[in-house]
Amino acid sequence: MASAPQSAEADRPGPGSQTALGPQSAHAVPGPQAAPGPQSAHAVPGPQTASTPQAGQPAPGPQAAPDALGPHTTPVPQAAHAVPGPQGTQGGPQGPFAPPAPQGAQTPAAAPRTLQYRFDGPEDAPVLVIGPSLGTTWHMWDRQIPELSQHWRIFRYDLPGHGGAPAHAAASVAELGDRLLATLDGLGVQRFGYAGCSIGGAIGADLALRHPHRVASLALVASSPRFGTADEFRRRGVIVRTNGLEPMARTAPERWFTPGFAAAQPAIVEWAVQMVRTTDPGCYIAACEALAAFDIRAALGRIGVPTLVLVGAEDQVTGPAEARTLVAGIPDARLALVPGASHLAPVEQPAAVSDLLLMHFSTAWQQDTSAAIPVLPHVTAPAAPSTPFVPVAEIAPAAAAPDAVAPTPDDRHEQGTKVRREVLGDAHVDAVNDTADAFTEDFQELVTRYAWGEVWSRDGLDRRTRSVITLTALVTSGHLEGLAAHTRAALRNGLTPAEIAEVLLQTAVYSGIPAAGAAFAVAQKVIQEETTPPA
């Protein structure tokens, strides 16, 4: 029986009524007893305050509604949703995805360096870690659990501030990976398979690069070695800081689903919107910053584990082009293109994704005696008739990998270029570089090394403070030609429009009304451009 973790958000808007989402994969176990097992005896260190239902007592909450997409549906208990909160509160928000008999859902309430997680599947099976996309919770994988938990012990986790998880923001993809390893270390899990969607895939690729001895096999779903441009994600952070998460929630369905699916499944669209709305804005912004800085294109050749790259054929976020970049760079990688799916392929085409993951991890999991991985258990087919296992989408043959590009040594110019791009944005720096010639190149070298590689790179002040000083200096000196770029930089460095206005008001007192008035005009235009959500 599932544990019922405490919830601090019993009154927050939930993602709608529980609704099963369609016919299961051929190997799904019918009925709510698909993944029985006691709660794990190993929990992340920290006090546990959640109460647990008595044996035979169902988890609180209504049962699932009939399947909206097909006739084969079985009521299932409410999914355990680990949310920190006051003592004595049970349960949590429900979603349309509800896997049977969840086990071991835990919240690391006293351990901000770990992640909120849950287990499904037999305790003695090898562990398969599954990671979510930005703005989603572990429930995005609910429809894969009945199938995969027959073969593996499934470990799912939430990103910080997602799904009610503690809002301890992580500054980078590597830090998220470190928290995941700390959580698994506390549970005694040393080696595991890993599948992750979008930022969840980035975490898996980072672990395969930095801790190759821990990852047995890898699946990158709707992922990329570099997510768009740094400017795109930093601007997304500016929009959320200014307007909250509503603009991201409103546009989530068009980023995540094909138009036909979104029109046919309004309950799932509402569930997706609610997932984003209930995410902590600070943690969402931090994740955007982490993706802005993520770039492993030069390191793909060092990923040495069997890798499946899975992408929806209609994904407009990290689509087939990004998937082919991964396959071309990772030596032992294969591509699976899923028809009729966009970014959240596990939700939109669950049977295809389940079959592809089952095929990949069943055939590519490398048994290593030194890693003490249990042999995959033989699973007896259910008594109910089932169709033979046939993948819905085909895994393409592995492509030959190019030689890995060796990283260049770091120096002040490289550090300055990195900081300059992070603060001013790629578009600005590219425009400056495009206009440089033999006459100006030495000056640009001086600016990059001295201003950005030394002064802006010092630890004595944070970037917010440096932006305040820079805005003040530009207005006072009358150098308004640089004010627009540094207003954008101030927004990306964490200043709000209201704070920028306060800086200009303060400057007006000491530098004069005319100078500040001209500065307000420049800053107002930039703020409107940067903080207006996409239509």
248-286 per-position pLDDT tens digit = 999 999 999 999 999 999 999 999 999 999 999 999 999
Residue 417 exposure: Cα atoms within 13 Å on the Cβ side: 9
Model pLDDT, residue 9:
34
pLDDT higher than 80, residue 49: no
pLDDT higher than 60, residue 88: no
> What is the pTM for the complete model shown?
0.69
pLDDT, tens digit, for every residue of 113-129?
899 999 999 999 999 99
Q: Are 220 and 204 spatial neighbours (Cβ–Cβ below 8 Å)?
A: yes
The torsion angles phi and psi of 277, rounded to 5 degrees, stand at: -60, -35
Binned at pLDDT 50, 70 and 90, residue 427 comes out as confident
From the CB of residue 41, how many other CB atoms can be counted at a distance below 10 Å? 9
Mean pLDDT of 442-470: 90
Question: How many residues does the structure list for the chain?
Answer: 535
User: Strands 153-157 and 117-120, how do they pair?
Assistant: antiparallel
pLDDT higher than 50, residue 58: no
Helix, strand counts (H, E) of the chain? 18, 8
Ordered DSSP codes for 211-222:
-TTTEEEEEEES
Residue 522 exposure: Cα atoms within 13 Å on the Cβ side: 21
Binned at pLDDT 50, 70 and 90, residue 107 comes out as low
From the CB of residue 33, how many other CB atoms can be counted at a distance below 10 Å? 11
pLDDT higher than 70, residue 472: yes
Model pLDDT, residue 199:
97
Contacts of 501 (CB under 8 A, 6+ apart): 520, 523
Q: What share of the chain is helix, strand, coil (3-state, %, to 5)?
A: 45, 10, 50
Model pLDDT, residue 106:
59
For the CA atoms of 337, 343, 344, 346, the dihedral, rounded to the nearest 10 degrees, stands at: 10
Model pLDDT, residue 440:
87
Binned at pLDDT 50, 70 and 90, residue 112 comes out as low
Binned at pLDDT 50, 70 and 90, residue 430 comes out as confident
The mean pLDDT of the chain is 77
Model pLDDT, residue 201:
97
DSSP class of residue 234? H
Cα first-last separation, the chain: 46
Between 297 and 79, the higher pLDDT residue:
297
Between 408 and 246, the higher pLDDT residue:
246
pLDDT higher than 80, residue 535: no
Model pLDDT, residue 153:
97
From the CB of residue 229, how many other CB atoms can be counted at a distance below 10 Å? 14
Residue in 128, 199, 191 with CA at minimum distance from that of residue 170: 199
Model pLDDT, residue 437:
86
Helices 513-531 and 463-477: angle between axes, nearest 10 degrees = 130
Binned at pLDDT 50, 70 and 90, residue 105 comes out as low
Binned at pLDDT 50, 70 and 90, residue 397 comes out as low
Q: Are 197 and 132 spatial neighbours (Cβ–Cβ below 8 Å)?
A: yes
Mean pLDDT of 220-233: 93
Mean pLDDT of 48-61: 35
pLDDT higher than 60, residue 62: no
